Amino acid sequence: MPSSVMPTSKRSDGHLPPAAVSTVGLRKSYGDKLVLDGIDLRIPAGSVFALLGPNGAGKTTAVKILSTLITADGGQAQVAGHDIASSPDGVRAAIGVTGQFSAVDGLITGEENMLLMADLHHLSKREGRRVAAELLERFDLAEAAKKPASSYSGGMKRRLDLAMTLVGNPRIIFLDEPTTGLDPRSRHNMWQIIRELVSDGVTVFLTTQYLEEADELADRIAVLNDGRIAAEGSADDLKRLIPGGHVRLRFTDPSAYRSAAVALSEVTRDDEALSLSIPSDGSQRELRSILDRLDSAGIEADELTVHTPDLDDVFFALTGGTRTDGTSGTDDPNQPSRPGRSKETAR
Amino acid sequence: MSSLSLAVRDSNTMLRRNLLHARRYPSLTLNLLLTPIMMLLLFVYVFGDVMSAGIEDGGADRSAYIAYLVPGILLLTIGGTTIGSAVSVSTDMNEGIIARFRTMAIHRGSVLIGHVIGSVLQCVMSVVLVGAVAVAIGFRSTDATAVEWILALGLLTLVSLAFTWIAVGMGLSSPNAEAASNNALPLVVLPFISSAFVPVDAMPGWFRPIAEYQPFTPAIETLRGLLLGTEIGHNGWLAVAWCLVLAVLGCFWSQSLFSRDPR
């Protein structure tokens, strides 16, 4: 089976492992709105790739195009060695898709959904029953198998959705926000399931809005912003791009605020909110040093919060936007200019 | 697998899915069945005596009007059932599972073919049920032979196929079930402005062309000819031609709508 999904195409470079998904200059717009503005990707077979981005960044559009649900306006893409435009059925035979909105038939039972998939993959009746029963068991749905899918909880629907995707034994799986809307326990279940898929050698293309999720699962992460890849690399590569966390001190007394700003060097001031932010990794040692300096100056802050980097920080770091709460202090003229910013204004 | 056997196999799977839906949730089908039965009873028992004055130059009675009415009611049944098809196609297209089907290596047309065959089967079943009610209240054919009965059933099936394809197109072009139901309304309005309830001759002169040049009138007249022995004339060919043209148009229309990028 793997041989059919890893063809040695003319384009493939002899030194690189075969690409499960590769795109060049993929573009899509809806009316006047440009959703994807030239996406280049190369995802090696057998790896987990995460497309990370906020709502409206174009993640779902990218998945829809690569899974042949919609057509691109420009650019090229190959999935499992098949061109998405000229050989969509070749792509479809190799992929499985689990969308953000559950693609299960709510009117019929979980088991009937599974058997429907087995029929559409042309499995024999016996084989279909075996695969359906096995997957229902594996995804902890055996008990609910005879109930209509519309009565399932969000997590169960998502598991059924993924189980249906696996009936055809796809070599490349697209997971569009697989854990959005799930409770923490279901989310961790889903992560475990995805890890198991990967250990079977399946290539996983997932989209997410959570940095943590990409960090947990993906070998490589691309950050999609405004239809363009703002950064790509391993989780560690990306974390290096994120400005460190910071400690935020709030005061009610303006004079205490001013003397604290003097006592602590390297602060970003917010005179209106009477708050200071100090770059910090949030470690015990750094916190102690800040507190020591405040103590020796005889200043007491009214509030202290430790802010660890999140997806917002990645985005603001990569796109040069301004945080609405002003904590990253981009209004500071001494702030080094960020690479993405000039590009944005040039547009 | 050859593309034909793929088409047959996948369409069969889709058909079974649609029949499963219809069996699990029969309320839509049953609701649509109520309308023609109520019409039948209303026109026979409430209006029957008065209406019969309008046929056979006034020499008819209620039982003659039953005979006149039933072919039209059977076609009205088909029209009503296909509204259900438009609604269920439209509802189905908004389900996530259709997006899944589109990303699977299955026969592209099978989703629609499954709907169409399922709907034609439902039409035929409804026609048989309404026909049974008609027989129960006194409808009898006038010496129709076995061949004529088979031709009558064949015609009803062909009409079902034609209107189902149109209804599927209407369902695909509607954003939601409510819109689909409204857009498919002509399928039950047309029988009322045909020769279903009164002869076309009884209508004002300016209106007659509308009643005459539409698919239901020749189909109804052909059905009358087959079951009641009236003159069919060129209505037979007209009915078949209407059905074929509508089926082919509906089929191409539906497929081009389905192959567009989904909303």
User: Cβ contact (<8 Å) for A108 and B106?
Assistant: no
Q: How confident is the model at residue A51 (pLDDT cuts 50, 70, 90)?
A: very high
The CA distances from residue A45 to A7, A86, A117, A232, in Å, are 11, 21, 25, 17
Q: Flag whether the pTM goes above 0.90.
A: no
Q: How confident is the model at residue B121 (pLDDT cuts 50, 70, 90)?
A: very high
**A316, pLDDT greater than 90:** no
Mean of all residue pLDDT scores within chain B: 91
Q: Minimal Cα distance from B19: which residue of A?
A: A108
Per-residue model confidence as pLDDT tens digits over A170-193: 999 999 998 888 888 888 988 998
**A331, pLDDT greater than 80:** no
Domains A2-104+152-236 and A241-346 share a fold: no
Domain topology for A241-346: Alpha-Beta Plaits (3.30.70)
User: Cβ contact (<8 Å) for B103 and A71?
Assistant: no
**Distance between CA atoms of A127 and A121, rounded to whole angstroms?**
11
User: Cβ contact (<8 Å) for A89 and B24?
Assistant: no
**A333, pLDDT greater than 50:** no
Segment B69-80 mean pLDDT: 94
Q: How confident is the model at residue B62 (pLDDT cuts 50, 70, 90)?
A: confident
Q: Minimal Cα distance from B97: which residue of A?
A: A103
Segment B43-53 mean pLDDT: 85
Tell me the shortest Cα–Cα distance from B183 to chain A, in angstroms: 25
Mean pLDDT lowest for which of A197-201, A239-243, A299-303, B189-193?
A: A239-243
Q: Is A203 on the interface with B (CB under 8 A)?
A: no
Mean pLDDT lowest for which of A201-210, A213-222, B57-66, B107-116?
A: B57-66
Q: Is A67 on the interface with B (CB under 8 A)?
A: yes
Tell me the shortest Cα–Cα distance from B255 to chain A, in angstroms: 16
**B164, pLDDT greater than 50:** yes
Mean pLDDT lowest for which of A105-119, A312-326, B24-38?
A: A312-326
CB A260 within 8 A of CB A249: yes
CB B106 within 8 A of CB B113: no
Mean of all residue pLDDT scores within chain A: 82
Comparing B38 with A4, the larger pLDDT belongs to: B38
Tell me the shortest Cα–Cα distance from B250 to chain A, in angstroms: 23
**Distance between CA atoms of A57 and B92, rounded to whole angstroms?**
28
**B143, pLDDT greater than 50:** yes
Tell me the shortest Cα–Cα distance from B100 to chain A, in angstroms: 6
Tell me the shortest Cα–Cα distance from B172 to chain A, in angstroms: 17
CATH class in words for A2-104+152-236: alpha beta
pLDDT for residue A319: 64
Q: How confident is the model at residue A151 (pLDDT cuts 50, 70, 90)?
A: very high
User: Cβ contact (<8 Å) for A112 and B262?
Assistant: no
**Domain chopping of chain B, boundaries:** 3-259
pLDDT for residue A341: 32
Region of residue A293 (phi > 0: left; psi between -120 and 50: alpha; otherwise: beta): alpha
Comparing A266 with A197, the larger pLDDT belongs to: A197
Per-residue model confidence as pLDDT tens digits over A55-101: 888 999 999 999 999 999 999 999 999 999 999 999 999 999 997 77
ipTM score for this prediction: 0.87
Q: Is A119 on the interface with B (CB under 8 A)?
A: yes
Q: Minimal Cα distance from A71: which residue of B?
A: B261
**A344, pLDDT greater than 60:** no
Per-residue model confidence as pLDDT tens digits over A187-225: 898 899 899 888 888 999 999 988 888 888 999 999 998
pLDDT for residue A48: 94
A102 contacts in chain B (CB < 8 Å): 96
Residues 6+ apart with CB under 8 A from A139: A159, A160, A162, A163, A193
Q: Is A106 on the interface with B (CB under 8 A)?
A: yes
pLDDT for residue B199: 85
pLDDT for residue B1: 63
B107 contacts in chain A (CB < 8 Å): none
A164 contacts in chain B (CB < 8 Å): 100
Comparing A47 with B57, the larger pLDDT belongs to: A47
**Distance between CA atoms of B113 and B120, rounded to whole angstroms?**
10
**Domain chopping of chain A, boundaries:** 2-104+152-236, 241-346
User: Cβ contact (<8 Å) for A69 and B262?
Assistant: yes
Q: Is A109 on the interface with B (CB under 8 A)?
A: no
**Distance between CA atoms of A98 and A77, rounded to whole angstroms?**
20
Mean pLDDT lowest for which of A84-93, B129-138, B140-149?
A: B140-149
Region of residue B169 (phi > 0: left; psi between -120 and 50: alpha; otherwise: beta): alpha
